[in-house]
Amino acid sequence: MRYCIIQADGMADEPLPELGGRTPLEAAHTPYMNELAARGVVGTFNPIPSGMDSGSDVGTLSVLGYDPAKYYTGRAPIEAAGLGLHLERDDVAYRMNLVTVEGDVLNGVMKDYSAGHISPEAAATIVAAIKVNFETSEIRFFKGLSYRHIMVWRNGPLNITTTPPHDITDRSTQEHLPRGNGAEELCTLMAEVSFFVREFVSRHCHGDVKANAVWFWGQGRAAVLPPVSRVFGGRGAIIAAVDLVKGIGALAGMDHVKVRGATGDVDTNYSGKGKAAVEVLEGGYTLCMVHVEAPDEAGHRGDPYLKKETIELIDAEVVAPVLRLAHEKKDIVVLVTCDHRTPCRIRTHATGDVPFVLYHPARRISAQTSINFCEKSCRKGVHFSSGEELINYVIDRKVR
């Protein structure tokens, strides 16, 4: 068997008055997902173990069948893997945001977690200067994209509480500084680097560069995942534009397939991703994961109409070509699901069950006339308490 997992990030939602009491998935015209549902199995599973934060880091591990409670070590180590960094055993990775604060970073107000979505060029100049001035044999800095960078500190403070800067917009920095064993050291470094960034930007950058501080969070040691080949029985490839998801693919030993025009946003190249999926499945891979960030972005914008449209595009441009191939080849298993809920009403991630549809050519499925693939119809189907359980079912692990 060959496996195609299509992950529509944050697709699951709630009934919305704007859509006549329907969810975006329920209201969307999705003939191909519906066909999968009519010939396959629908159901729900819980991608976010209780006590963990809802996000694509935890949720994507689940969608690939890994237990996040066992394998998740933090957000930064996953992003570091996405940048191609190798962490040693005693390394601790931290996400370093370039941010805009009012006042001092240790005693001010967080104005923008992204420094105005700083341009990659300006960010590269600033991070290069940070490297020159602050790198030691113990502490290193790595350039990511826009406001997202990585700091690696050998035996750096690990058992501390940090706060994502996007959670404290317009709030006091002082109340959300790193806390716990060794946190003062991290705060000192944050203050020193921030002081430098403010000076550097005012001297060397254009007036439209809004970065004046850095913020460390998401710390963790290297994550070690068993390779997908062990579970799926062959090579895997991941089609994703977002560094975080690319990082999970890298840690899982998957090849990354780049698609021109894939943006990680609602304007992504949907048909390019669909074509790439077919190429991967035809190219000797046993597992293809296609990640589309668009529904999550629409959810963050609180726009049900846009979210519905992104789901329709995924159906027509990604699911359709994979389904065509599955009709032709008879050995392709298709799973369409998502990593977490991003309800338009709250504009952020939420925990709880998400829907899935599984099409498996070798399984006998009692014929169904028609079914609309959505949260409601999936609640009447099978239920799995974790992604690990779902993937065991997908690959029929007990039978093999």
Q: Residue 305 Cβ, how far from Zn ion at the closest point, in Å?
A: 18
Between residues 347 and 380, which has the closer beta carbon with respect to Zn ion? Answer: 347
Report the residue closest to Zn ion, judged by CB: 296
Q: Which helix (H) or strand (E) holds 76?
A: helix 75-82
Q: Pick the closer one to Zn ion by CB: 321 or 387.
A: 387
Region 254-273 residues binding Zn ion, contact defined as CB under 5 A: none
Which part of the chain contacts Zn ion (CB under 5 A), choosing from 74-82, 244-252, 288-296, 363-371?
A: 288-296
Closest separation in Å from C-beta 235 to Zn ion: 29
Kind plus residue range of the DSSP H or E element containing 355: strand 354-359
- Binding segment for Zn ion (CB under 5 A), chosen from 172-180, 230-238, 294-302, 360-368, is 294-302
Q: How far apart are CA 384 and CA 400, in angstroms?
A: 20
Question: Considering beta carbons, is residue 296 or 389 the nearer one to Zn ion?
Answer: 296
CB within 8 Å of 325: residues ≥ 6 apart: 278, 281, 282, 332
Q: Which is nearer to Zn ion, 168 or 191 (CB)?
A: 168
Query: C-beta of 317: minimal distance to Zn ion in Å?
Result: 21
Span of 41-49, 120-128, 291-299, 387-395 interacting with Zn ion by CB under 5 A: 291-299
Q: Positive or negative CA dihedral for 5, 11, 14, 17?
A: negative
Q: Tell me, residue by residue from 295 to 334, as one string, x for binding to Zn ion by CB under 5 A and - for no binding.
A: -x--------------------------------------
d(CA 140, CA 85): 11
For Zn ion, the closer CB: 60 or 100: 60
Which CB atom, from 296 or from 312, has the smaller least distance to Zn ion?
A: 296
Nearer to Zn ion, 43 or 295 (CB): 295
Separation between Cα atoms, residue 311 and residue 308, nearest integer Å? 5
Please report how close the Cβ of residue 341 comes to Zn ion at its closest, in angstroms.
10
Q: Which range in 17-25, 91-99, 188-196, 289-297 contacts Zn ion by CB under 5 A?
A: 289-297
Kindly state the smallest distance separating residue 249's Cβ from Zn ion, in Å: 18
Q: Quickly count: other Cβ atoms within 10 Å of residue 102's Cβ.
A: 13
Contact 231, 286 (CB under 8 A): no
Give which of 346, 347, 336 is closest to 314, Cα–Cα. 336
b vs e for 280-294, b when ≥16 Cβ sit within 10 Å of the residue's Cβ? bbeeebbbbbbbbbb
**Nearest to Zn ion of 258, 347 (CB atom):** 347
C-beta closer to Zn ion: residue 194 or 342: 342
Residue 339 interacts with Zn ion (CB under 5 A): yes or no: no
Residue 160 C-beta: closest distance to Zn ion, Å:
24
Q: Which part of the chain contacts Zn ion (CB under 5 A), choosing from 128-136, 164-172, 293-301, 389-397?
A: 293-301
Q: Which is nearer to Zn ion, 186 or 244 (CB)?
A: 244
Separation of alpha carbons 178 and 158, rounded Å: 10
Least spacing, CB of residue 307 vs Zn ion, in Å: 12
Closest contact distance (angstroms) between CB of 349 and Zn ion is: 6
CB of 338 to Zn ion, least distance (A): 11
Q: Provide the CB-side half-sphere exposure for 355 (13 A, CA).
A: 26
Nearest alpha carbon to residue 237 among 190, 188, 276, 202: 276
> What is the per-residue DSSP string for 133-180?
HH--SSEEEEEEETTEEEEEEET---SEE---GGG-TTSBSGGGS-EE
Q: For the CB of residue 350, give the shortest distance to Zn ion in the complex, in Å.
A: 11
- Using only C-alpha atoms, the chain has a radius of gyration, in whole angstroms, of 22
For residues 135 and 157, give the distance between their C-alpha atoms in angstroms, rounded to a whole number. Answer: 17
Is 307:315 a contact under the CB 8 Å cutoff? no
Q: How many residues bind Zn ion (CB under 5 A)?
A: 1
Given the rule CB under 5 A, which residues bind Zn ion? 296
